[in-house]
Structures are given as structure tokens and as C-alpha cells.
Amino acid sequence: AQSVTQLGSHVSVSEGALVLLRCNYSSSVPPYLFWYVQYPNQGLQLLLKYTSAATLVKGINGFEAEFKKSETSFHLTKPSAHMSDAAEYFCAVTNAGGTSYGKLTFGQGTILTVHP
């Protein structure tokens, strides 16, 4: 069984400030972890993924995430927010083995608002 919890359904930051979106996971086997972004009225786009290589993963648009097994966390960060980062962000987990067929389990999403 696997699950994802995103802490905070809404996060608000000022332009230029640090962005931190929190994600904790639960998985009975080593997980693969993902962050997706959804802009209004669009489908989801992959930001970055962790699949058991380097624990610090860099993605598109200046985002990065660190896999911390001891904390079962995969928080998403960006040093300096831009207005164009305003969107909804989803953390997701899967594993490659067994009968999961790579099915993703999504968190409930975090809406990021960026103020001028």
C-alpha cells in the first residue's frame, strides 16, 4: 500500500521568496516519487522525479526536491518564487515492482499563490 500527504492545501509567498511545498509518503517498498504541476485549465506536467538514484533531484523551472528516507519526505523547493510559478502542485508515489504497474497515488494538491 502507498499513500501521499501534502501538508498545506494553500501556500502563499512573495515574489522572490523561498518556495517550500511539503510532501510525506508511505510505501511498503522503496518508492518512486514525483512532483507534478497543474496550471489553470490544463493537464498535469512532470516537474521532477526520484527513482532511487541521487537523493537531491533537480527539475524544470528551477525546482528541486530532496528524498529523505528517514523522514519519509520529498519536499519541493525553489529558492526564488516567480509569478509564473502560481499553480497547483501534486506529489505522487509509485513503486516499480509487483503488480503496481507503476500506478501513481497522488496527494490532494497544494495551491501556490505568488504575490508581487
Partner 1 sequence: NAGVTQTPKFRILKIGQSMTLQCTQDMNHNYMYWYRQDPGMGLKLIYYSVGAGITDKGEVPNGYNVSRSTTEDFPLRLELAAPSQTSVYFCASRDRFYREYFGPGTRLTVL
- Chain residues binding partner 1 by CB under 8 A are 9, 32, 34, 36, 41-46, 49, 51, 90, 94, 96, 101-104, 106-109
Nearer to partner 1, 77 or 106 (CB): 106
Distance CA 54, CA 43 (A): 28
Nearer to partner 1, 101 or 116 (CB): 101
Residue 83 DSSP symbol: G
Distance CA 65, CA 51 (A): 12
Q: How far is the CB of 106 from partner 1 (least distance, A)?
A: 4
Alpha helices in 16-69 (DSSP H): none
Q: Which amino acid is at 98?
A: G
Whether 3 and 103 have beta carbons less than 8 Å apart is answered as no
Nearer to partner 1, 15 or 64 (CB): 64
Nearer to partner 1, 58 or 80 (CB): 58
Q: How far is the CB of 104 from partner 1 (least distance, A)?
A: 7
Q: How far is the CB of 94 from partner 1 (least distance, A)?
A: 7
Q: How far is the CB of 16 from partner 1 (least distance, A)?
A: 29
